Amino acid sequence: MSTVPDTPPRSPKAEQTRQSIIDAAMRLFRTNGYEKATMRAIADEAGVSIGNAYYYFSSKEHLIQAYYDRINAEHAEAAAAALAGTTTFSERLGAVLLAWVDVAEPYHEFAGKFFKTAAEPTSPLSPFSSESEATRLAAIDLHREVIDGSDLKLAKALRAELPELLWLAQMGVVLFWVHDTSDGQQRTRLLVRQAVPLIDRALRLTRLPGVRGLVDDVVGLVRTIKPKP
Amino acid sequence: MSTVPDTPPRSPKAEQTRQSIIDAAMRLFRTNGYEKATMRAIADEAGVSIGNAYYYFSSKEHLIQAYYDRINAEHAEAAAAALAGTTTFSERLGAVLLAWVDVAEPYHEFAGKFFKTAAEPTSPLSPFSSESEATRLAAIDLHREVIDGSDLKLAKALRAELPELLWLAQMGVVLFWVHDTSDGQQRTRLLVRQAVPLIDRALRLTRLPGVRGLVDDVVGLVRTIKPKP
DNA sequence: ACCAGGAGTTGAACACGTTCAAGAAGGAGC
DNA sequence: GCTCCTTCTTGAACGTGTTCAACTCCTGGT
């Protein structure tokens, strides 16, 4: 769930300091927003020196990662709860996506700033970066669970790639969400509610004679394009 | 084509200074990269003071806009040339997308920095922003031309929305491209070459009995979700 | 010619993220 | 106790993007 710490914890004391810095950062991000929460202010709030904050987190961006992890952890929990008792694919996918919108809602205000940072390919916060691999794989696994616990019948090849594709779709939802200025991000919820049944129908169509070959080729393309061999 | 300048030009002299700053920035971005090209260095190269550079461009990010405009202008030209003489949809779409990759190649190194700026929803550089509407509409029109000049036969509703959807696909290519670290962005070119025929096939499948209803609903969803009325 | 007022220009100053040389604290082996 | 080494901690200092009060220059009106 949690990504690899910047520096491996050595003593309990050190781990405690590490946590207090994260807590301070969380508090200030929430109350003051991203820009106002300077490294000096965070270090101050945590009762340590600036240099010490940098001893544990090699950059401000790395500090934000803790924030990301928290959202992801909350989502994993909320999604698990929402998945319990649902069996249809539509219900399950919708539950997971809407759970994310719910969990992320309090963070929407600064989400733009976070997004900006995460968008840069070299940033450790990028959803495609190696630093966030653990988080990414966990999220993909969640979608695998969505599929496995459902009634969906698919060709083996597609079934194998689908979790990653659904995760990509989720990233699309996030992109839409970040730009969504509607009250309570209603438009994003509308998008999810309407798109999910369509995805369901589309997936069930993949077994159609004329469509099948195309799907195989799409899967082949995905495999060609995916991360380095 | 060109977006609104940060400050409206007053005197010819001022416009000249403005241009010399852009030129200096271009030169330093190319030779030194984004971070090394400091505002002080740019101002120095342009023969003006730091404060003066900020008089014309309210931030370093705003300087990038000039780059954005240049890429778009070059692409429009290259795409028009590449489209001449092609008739099949695959050829035409591929030509436009590959032309973009070609045009953008020299800028790939610091594209991540540009992307970071453009990712923030409130940024005028965001491809979804109202400030970049003119550029966006021009790009969408380019895709309309791709379709209109081709042999593709589609339902009217889909045909109407397709240019925007293709533009969205192009944004997806850009996203992939930004993260593509392969030599000369070969992987992006591979993606385009392989994905284009698949898009072609998928579009031709939309007339299939079982698929048709789904496509109609997707078009309906797109219309529901699109920008505010 | 003069003036008023806006356009254009300047560089010192500010706050920020980050680095680093220096030191303090802690523990393992003796 | 002492020594040595690693872990942990410090704050001054650096370079950056950006701001701003003050300045000069230019232009139109009289």
Name the more confident of B70 and B97: B97
CA B28 to C1' D24, in angstroms, rounded, equals: 29
Closest Cα partner for B43 from B29, B56, B24? B24
The string of DSSP codes covering A118-187 is HHSTTSTTSTTSSTTHHHHHHHHHHHHHHHHTS-----HHHHHHHHHHHHHHHHHHHHHHHH--SGGGHH
Is B25 within 8 Å of B37 (Cβ atoms)?
Answer: yes
For residues B154-164, one letter each, b for 16 or more C-beta atoms within 10 angstroms of the residue's C-beta and e for the rest, the string is beeebbebbbb
Query: How many Å apart are CA A182 and CA A90, to the nearest integer?
Result: 24
- Chain D positions with a protein C-beta closer than 7 Å: 7-13, 15-21, 26-27
B211's tokens: 């698929």
What's the pLDDT tens digit per position in A21-43? 999 999 998 888 888 999 999 99
In chain A, the N- to C-terminal Cα span, in Å, equals: 25
Instruction: Please report which confidence band the pLDDT of residue A228 belongs to, taking 50, 70 and 90 as the band edges.
Output: low
A7 or A149, which is more confident:
A149
pLDDT, tens only, A148-171:
999 999 999 999 999 999 999 999
The pLDDT tens digits for B156-166 are 999 999 999 99
What is the predicted pLDDT for the residue at A227? 72
> Average pLDDT for residues B147-153, to the nearest whole number?
94
Question: Which residues in chain B are contacts of A126 at CB distance < 8 A?
Answer: 179
Residue A89 or residue B11, greater confidence: A89
- pLDDT digits 0-9 by tens, A92-129: 999 999 999 999 998 887 788 788 888 888 887 888 88
Looking at residue A10, its pLDDT comes to: 67
Provide the mean pLDDT of chain A.
90
Instruction: Name the CA dihedral angle for B31, B35, B36, B39, rounded to a multiple of 10 degrees.
Output: 100
Q: What percent of chain B has pLDDT over 70?
A: 95
Backbone angle region of B117, left / alpha / beta, with phi > 0 → left and psi within -120 to 50 → alpha: alpha
Helix (H, G, I), strand (E, B) or coil at A45: helix
CA neighbor of A188 nearest in space, from A118, A97, A117:
A97
Strand D contacting residues by CB (7 Å): A 7, 9-11, 13-14, 17, 48-52, 54-55; B 11, 13, 35-40, 50-51, 54, 58-61
Confidence of residue A20 (pLDDT cuts 50, 70, 90): very high
Please tell me which residue, B151 or A124, carries the higher pLDDT value: B151
CB A82 within 8 A of CB A145: no
Q: For residues A145 and A81, what is the distance between their CA atoms, to the nearest angstrom?
A: 13
Q: Do A187 and B225 touch (CB under 8 A)?
A: yes
A147 vs A71: which has the higher pLDDT: A147
Which residue in A56, A7, B123 sits closest to A23, CA to CA? A56
Give the mean pLDDT of B218-222: 96
- Are the beta carbons of A146 and A80 closer than 8 angstroms? no
| Global pTM value | 0.87
How large is the C-alpha radius of gyration of chain A? 20
